[in-house]
A and B are shown apart, each in its own frame.
Chain A
């Protein structure tokens, strides 16, 4: 466990200087298909990573049970997570379809990317809301 903690700590430190928002700031009017492919690929990867954490939360013992441990999952939070996950998935998967259709126009690409970004942001927020 100590080794794993050390790996995570090193990973966090190595990423501290990374401008994570850079890829999401491609100028809308100048967005190319390559830009859009990069963004949607990154969004989907981030979505998948976030979903793993959300799944772990859902699998925790229920908070509603008597003598629930401090680290537990709340049914209302789980229901909210499901709604936001479904929205994020629809937006990201839909955006991917648009982006992978190379004949899509720049405005359509931009709209698809914006929808995917917004969908993912909501899912990320609810997942981050859960703390030990």
Chain B
């Protein structure tokens, strides 16, 4: 267990150097019986090199995938993507009708005001933990920037196993 903790802290300590800034992250509230939830956020690559988001994990879901919704010739199509490209200096939005997370089997129903903790893993081995509020689903394309819930784990405390 302690080894696991130490390994986790090492991994998280990398986030101290992270140049991916996560903004406006939120989980839109969904029916209590929903077996899949989504999460949206803006990922800004503040660094000088292109990066990739390779995976997401969260303890309260059985698994989390990255998906893309597209409307092609009037048909809504959804597909899983292996990675999300984050070009240097650019912002990529995970948003309704586009790239989004597909989070399977929430451990318990979530309502507005709850929080979800996710860990994002990048191609350079860095990981970043984000706390997302469960918020009322936005409609109509109004893009209101609410307060940002982002927790960056600063230098991990080294523990000897």
A and B bind: no
Residues of B whose CB lies within 8 Å of any CB of A are: none
